[in-house]
């Protein structure tokens, strides 16, 4: 009943609600026109791997374990190839407003049914993705894939004690840097190449030192100068983690490791919202790290009790991250990429919920009367500051959000839900 009413809301009603909201915000010194325009511009890089549960298109030559990545659920409709995945992503981008990029993993190479070793991946294996992105005027981002591979089954890749294993993964990462460079050049937009590796130990390592030393050396080799790699188009990032499945006790690439590594090598640090202790959030880290780092990559995710990669929702953690970015005027220094995978519900809805929640959190932060509450804080009027922060939580955000959606030609309110149901009936359920 409520949903039906929402669906029938007229454009005129939305406009009227927006006019009232605009006045509400103007009265507290907030310009909604500016907030909408800014919120629409910020690119959100959509991870391709929600469409297929991090499966990938690779033709495999040996048994592999998941490498610490686990999508649970068996909802029908998983994308089985590039065409299906691109169609899914197009649908998501119609239903979520604002500028998007698409974030690929090396696992999504299209190799015409041939098994191409990861260290032999070339730009040609991503030509379809590049052509698609060019036609739709979207930027691409990219990731090395250090998991789901026979040479990752030991739980160690770039930090493996066996030199030949390390060399294989170094070649893989360099191949990806070349591909990212070509993608960036072709699209005239720099590509962020993120490196996350599962390396770690399940229990009580006797040596925490050697793998870390080897990882530094291997990453330095990856990030050295290589023919065909141009840092103007390929911007490397490194992503740390606290623990993973099978690496509960020790992760070689911890957050401290990469924070120091990224700073000293002038690459980007990636913070994933799920990669810390359960009550530790990343919002407070941003103003600390950006005193020293030029920029950051954020993996927008949602942990529940552990790094569970749940669908991103408009919750306090997400809002706090965007408040920090807006309050610190740091939106231009931080790249945003979604990162979660839920196979237990409609995957397209999972995407749209997360993409919309992310931009909604951005809009909400832009609607905060930051100058006013800072002034109160500076004057020592702490209770009033807190009171205004409380009031700001329930202003007419929804009306401004609807207007943002309308301007971006995306469905307002809950109107997108019916579109996903249609897509499920007409497209996803036919993928059997």
Contact residues toward ligand RNT (CB under 6 A) are 49, 54, 69, 105, 143, 196, 239, 241, 272, 299, 307, 339
Catalytic residue among 47, 100, 275, 360: 275
**Which of the listed partners (ligand RNT, Zn ion, none) does 142 bind, with a CB threshold of 5 to 8 Å by partner kind?**
none
User: What is the separation, in whole angstroms, between the first and last Cα of the chain?
Assistant: 33
Q: Shortest CA distance to 271 belongs to which of 258, 5, 279, 352? A: 258
Residue 167 structure tokens: 């060399």
Rounded least distance, CB 86 to ligand RNT, Å: 18
Helix (H, G, I), strand (E, B) or coil at 275: coil
Nearer residue to Zn ion within complex by CB, 86 or 299: 299
3-state secondary structure (DSSP) of residue 386? helix
**Which one, 103 or 181, has the nearer CB to Zn ion?**
103
What single string gives the DSSP state of each residue in 124-180?
Answer: GGGHHHHHHHHHTT--EEEE---SSSGGGTTS-STT-SSHHHHHHHHHHHHHHHHHH
Q: Residue 94 and residue 97: Cα distance in Å, rounded?
A: 7
Active site residue 272: yes
CB 211 to Zn ion: min, Å? 20
In the complex, which residue's CB is closest to ligand RNT?
196
CB of 7 to ligand RNT, least distance (A): 34
Residue with smaller CB distance to Zn ion, 68 or 97:
68
Best CA proximity match to 333, nearest among 367, 293, 379, 366: 293
- 100 tagged catalytic: no
Distances (CA, A) of 350 to 224, 244, 260, 317, 345: 38, 23, 34, 18, 7
Least spacing, CB of residue 290 vs ligand RNT, in Å: 21
Is 307 a residue of the active site? yes
Which position among 160, 241, 293, 385 bears the catalytic label?
A: 241
129 is known as an active-site residue: no
Strands (E), 216-357: 234-239, 250-251, 268-272, 296-300, 302-304, 306-310, 334-338
Q: Which is nearer to ligand RNT, 71 or 289 (CB)?
A: 71
Q: Are 193 and 180 in contact (CB under 8 A)?
A: yes
Q: How far apart are CA 427 and CA 215, in angstroms?
A: 44
Residues that bind Zn ion (CB under 5 A): 272, 299, 339
d(CA 329, CA 170): 36
Nearest-Å Rg of the Cα atoms of the chain is: 22
- Of residues 307, 368, 403, 424, which has the active-site annotation? 307
Cβ contacts of 271 within 8 Å, gap of 6 or more = 239, 240, 255, 282, 285, 286, 289, 296, 297, 298, 299
Q: Give yes or no: 299 in active site.
A: yes
The catalytic position among 52, 182, 199, 309 is: 309
Decide which of ligand RNT, Zn ion, none touches 54; Cβ closer than 5 to 8 Å per partner kind: ligand RNT
Rounded to the nearest whole angstrom, what is the least distance from the CB of residue 258 to ligand RNT in the complex?
12
Question: Among residues 105 and 299, whose Cβ is nearest to Zn ion?
Answer: 299
Name the active-site residue from 22, 299, 360, 385.
299
Shortest Cβ 250–ligand RNT spacing (Å): 15
**Annotated active-site residue in 53, 141, 236, 339:** 339
- Select 242 or 428, whichever has its Cβ closest to ligand RNT: 242
* Shorter beta-carbon distance to ligand RNT: residue 143 or 323: 143
339 among known catalytic residues: yes
Q: Are 423 and 51 in contact (CB under 8 A)?
A: no
Residue 196 C-beta: closest distance to Zn ion, Å: 6
Catalytic residue at 49?
no
Residue tagged active-site, from 49, 129, 169, 196: 196
Q: Which residues are catalytic?
A: 196, 239, 241, 272, 275, 299, 307, 309, 339
């Amino acid at each position: 009943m409520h949903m039906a009413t929402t669906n029938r809301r007229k454009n005129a009603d939305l406009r009227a609600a927006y006019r009232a909201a605009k006045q509400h915000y103007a009265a507290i010194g907030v310009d909604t026109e500016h907030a909408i325009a800014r919120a629409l511009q910020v690119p959100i890089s959509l991870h391709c791997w929600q469409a297929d549960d991090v499966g990938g298109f690779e033709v495999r030559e040996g048994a592999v374990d998941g490498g610490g990545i686990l999508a649970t659920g068996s909802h029908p409709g998983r994308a089985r190839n590039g065409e299906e995945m691109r169609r899914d992503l197009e649908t998501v981008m119609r239903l979520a407003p604002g500028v998007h990029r698409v974030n690929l993993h090396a696992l999504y190479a299209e190799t015409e049914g041939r098994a191409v070793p990861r260290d032999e991946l070339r730009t040609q294996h991503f030509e379809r993705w590049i052509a698609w992105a060019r036609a739709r005027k979207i930027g691409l981002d990219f990731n090395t894939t250090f998991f789901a591979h026979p040479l990752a089954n030991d739980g160690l890749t770039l930090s493996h004690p066996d030199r030949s294993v390390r060399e294989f993964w170094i070649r893989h990462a360099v191949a990806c840097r070349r591909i990212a460079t070509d993608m960036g050049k072709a699209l005239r937009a720099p590509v962020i190449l993120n490196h996350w590796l599962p390396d770690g130990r399940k229990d009580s390592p006797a040596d925490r030192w050697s793998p870390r030393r080897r990882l530094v050396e291997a990453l330095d080799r990856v990030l050295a100068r290589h023919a065909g790699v141009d840092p103007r188009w390929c911007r490397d990032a490194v992503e740390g983690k606290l623990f993973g499945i099978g690496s509960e006790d020790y992760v070689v690439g911890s957050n401290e490791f990469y924070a120091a590594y990224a700073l000293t090598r002038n690459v980007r640090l990636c913070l994933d919202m799920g990669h810390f202790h359960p009550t530790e959030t990343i919002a407070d880290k941003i103003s600390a790290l950006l005193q020293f780092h030029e920029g950051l990559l954020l993996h927008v995710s949602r942990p529940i009790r552990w790094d569970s990669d749940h669908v991103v929702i408009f919750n306090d953690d997400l809002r706090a991250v965007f408040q920090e970015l807006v309050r610190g005027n740091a939106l231009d220094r931080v790249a945003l990429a979604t990162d979660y995978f839920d196979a237990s519900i409609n995957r397209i809805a999972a995407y749209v919920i997360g993409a919309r929640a992310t931009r909604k959190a951005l809009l909400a932060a832009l609607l905060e009367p930051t100058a006013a509450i800072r002034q109160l804080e500076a004057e020592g009027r702490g209770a009033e500051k807190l009171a205004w922060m409380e009031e700001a939580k329930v202003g007419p955000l929804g009306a401004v959000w609807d207007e943002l959606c309308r301007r971006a030609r995306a469905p307002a309110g809950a109107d997108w839900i019916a579109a996903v149901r249609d897509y499920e009936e007409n497209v996803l359920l036919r993928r059997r």
